[in-house]
Structure 1
């Protein structure tokens, strides 16, 4: 009876999860109490081994549910961190693109635009086989004839 009493007394101090994870501490405390209690009967306690704790099925399920909930919470936190990092990356990329466009805009002058138009027209003339298209798709002619005649 002394053994049962001490085991119940010591295990009642710990939450069920701690009984499993801190088994060595629990067994040390049980051993200490038993040694003290049984010494008056000239009994010596050499060692205490806790082989297994048995809990009710409902309690086991609640422990498992708690572990699952903790894992899901950790996953949600990690997902949130990942989303925040991805958002920061997108913002940084957008800022870099905006800065790039701003710098390019500073370089654009009316003369540069005119030069690019001339280059495009020259390429078109190089590819042109001398035959005018029979159908056009818009209001802009294939070759700006007015600019060539000036």
Structure 2
């Protein structure tokens, strides 16, 4: 019976030792890329001092490094509130933020993962900030003055999240909606305003037409006055007689056979009659 030599275990043992050395070597350092920060934890306890980009040594097997993304993060968060006139107002905000690298260790100790930061801090603080901004104005003002609503919201949210190490870079109102009752009220108001504007337009048009008629009447009266003065000044009786004859002719009636005028030179319009009708 053959027995295995003790020397035959040496290669196997050497391989195991080499594997352990390689494993320990890989677990003895961590590489952080630009835009990342790490928090070293030994036996589950977060250590002071944030790890920034580069290579960092760590105790093998008993340590862990939580990596946080320091680049801009974007999440859409819904919110709901009541306005100053007790109308329901709903909104959805797109929030751009990033973590303060100086406070990453405290974030790790108090909040943990990025998902926890969004669900436990950003979402509820968004809700509270929206309540503050919406309560300062009516629902109509919230719609017509959206920029002011957003400004109040941004200020309130930044103040609330700054103490958590969350830096707000920008927010935008993705959606802003109100109750169906208010939507009907807005529609009815718009219809009433359109009718009122139409009535004002009609009234102004009638006023302008009346003024135009007055101006035309004044112009006609003035023209007649000037004509009368001209006729009186330039012997207009003859002109009037001539116009009477022409008017008679243009009217289509039979011309009279006898024309009688006044005896004096200042006579008026000739008196016309047909002797044939005197039979």
1:41 alignment counterpart: 164
Greater fraction strand: 2
Residues 1:90 and 2:213 are matched in the alignment: yes
TM-score, normalising length from structure 1? Answer: 0.71
Match 1:22 to one of 140, 145, 155? 145
Aligned residues: 133
**Mapped partners of 1:31, 1:68: distance in 2:** 35
1:69 alignment counterpart: 192
**Mapped partners of 1:117, 1:75: distance in 2:** 50
1:144 alignment counterpart: 257
For the pair shown, the structure with the greater C-alpha radius of gyration is 2
Give the gaps of 5 or more residues in structure 1.
Answer: 125-136
1:11–1:19 contact (8 Å) kept in structure 2: yes
Pairwise CA distance, 1:25: 2.2
CA-to-partner distance for each residue in 1:2-50, whole Å, 9 max, x for gaps? 3212201211212222222322221121111111112222222222211
Give the gaps of 5 or more residues in structure 2.
Answer: 1-123, 261-279
Q: Per the alignment, do residues 99 and 80 of structure 1 end up closer, same or farther by CA in structure 2, a change over 3 Å counting?
A: same
**Mapped partners of 1:38, 1:27: distance in 2:** 16
CA-based RMSD:
3.1
SS at match of 2:173: coil
